[in-house]
Amino acid sequence: MTVLVAGATGLAGSAIVRELRRIGTPVVGISSKQFDLRNRKLTFEYLENLKPSVVIDAAAKVGGINANNTYPVEFLSHNIQIQTNLMDASHNSKVDRFIFLGSNCIYPRNCPQPIKEEYILSGALEPTNSAYAVAKLAGIELIKSYRKEFGHKWFSVMPINLYGPNDNFDLESSHVFPALIRKFSDAVENNDQQVIVWGSGTPRREFLHVDDLAKAVIVCLEKYDSDQHINIGTGSDLTIKELAEKIAKISGFGGEIIWDSTKDDGTPQKLLDVQKITKLGWEPKISIDDGIKSTIDWYLDNK
């Protein structure tokens, strides 16, 4: 069995590649540095030559609130092209199993908590990242359509907010977790006495280390087969203020945290119901404190 991981140098993709290699599964990783999955002809040719038995789609244009809000066309158009080309090429090459990595932003902004899989499309999306959410919703629907029309054993997984090595630490385009890692780590290095954090700090978020995600994906590959996507998360959350204070403490920052409430908070809360993935025998192993420390270490070693 050969597994193809698309987006293999990104946050999720690189962790999945590491886990597959750890358990001895033959894996091939591709990234945008090799070729553009928006190129339909090239994507079809690559899949036809490789003929993998499993494709894991972790390839996507991703970013935080600012990036999503500023470039909605790119987040919608580019992601639809990437995932559609990869799925169509996989069908053409008779790929047995396809796993599509979605995003928790597919759920309505004011969703009941914790969020069950069936709450999808039950309300209005968060406006700041609705374009990205619609692209991911389209991917979920295409997976379901391939199952319905051709009987493929393909499915989608919905991870909660991820963090860990190979994250994007660019302050203009990153998510909140790596942005806070960079801000506080740099402040310690520069001996700054203040750090400005966007928003009010009140939204609640759930965070999962990518190494735990990778193990969950392997469990799903072995045990899951349904047209309904499956949530992957920790089942617990914290406020952005609590997260910032944890990262500040672990990084060694002893100065003042200033909250810029002129910046958008986004969705008030995102906490996934993880009963289905738990029943498959998976649970996260990396605590938030240990994850923060290891991610700070990785950032300092690689920046």
Q: Report the distance separating Cα 280 and Cα 271, nearest Å.
A: 19
Q: Where are the domains of the chain?
A: 3-165+206-236+271-285
Q: What is the pLDDT of residue 65?
A: 80
Q: What is the pLDDT of residue 250?
A: 98
pLDDT at residue 185 tops 90: yes
DSSP bridge pairs for 156? 100
Query: How far from each other are the two terminal CA atoms of the chain, in whole angstroms?
Result: 36
C-alpha dihedral over 68, 189, 293, 113, to 10 degrees? Answer: -30
CATH code at 3-165+206-236+271-285: 3.40.50.720
Burial class of residue 285 (count of CB atoms within 10 Å of its CB; 0-12, 13-18, 19+): exposed
Q: What is the pLDDT of residue 68?
A: 87
Type of residue at 214:
A
Q: Which residues of 69-107 are buried (b: 16+ CB within 10 A; e: fewer)?
A: bebbeebbebbbbbbbbbbbbbbebebebbbbbbbbbbb
What is the per-residue pLDDT across 66-75, written as a single tens digit (0 to 9) for each? 888 899 999 9
What is the per-residue pLDDT across 24-79, written as a single tens digit (0 to 9) for each? 999 999 999 888 999 999 999 999 999 999 999 999 998 888 888 899 999 999 99
> Which of 109, 55, 104, 114 lies closest to 232, judged by CA?
104
pLDDT at residue 264 tops 90: no
The arithmetic mean of pLDDT across residues 233-262, rounded, is 97
| Active-site residue list | 132
Q: What is the pLDDT of residue 172?
A: 85
The arithmetic mean of pLDDT across residues 118-132, rounded, is 96
Is-contact 164 291, C-beta < 8 A?
yes
C-alpha dihedral over 130, 132, 138, 143, to 10 degrees? Answer: -130
The arithmetic mean of pLDDT across residues 196-220, rounded, is 97
- The length of the chain is 303
Tell me, what DSSP letter sits at residue 114? S
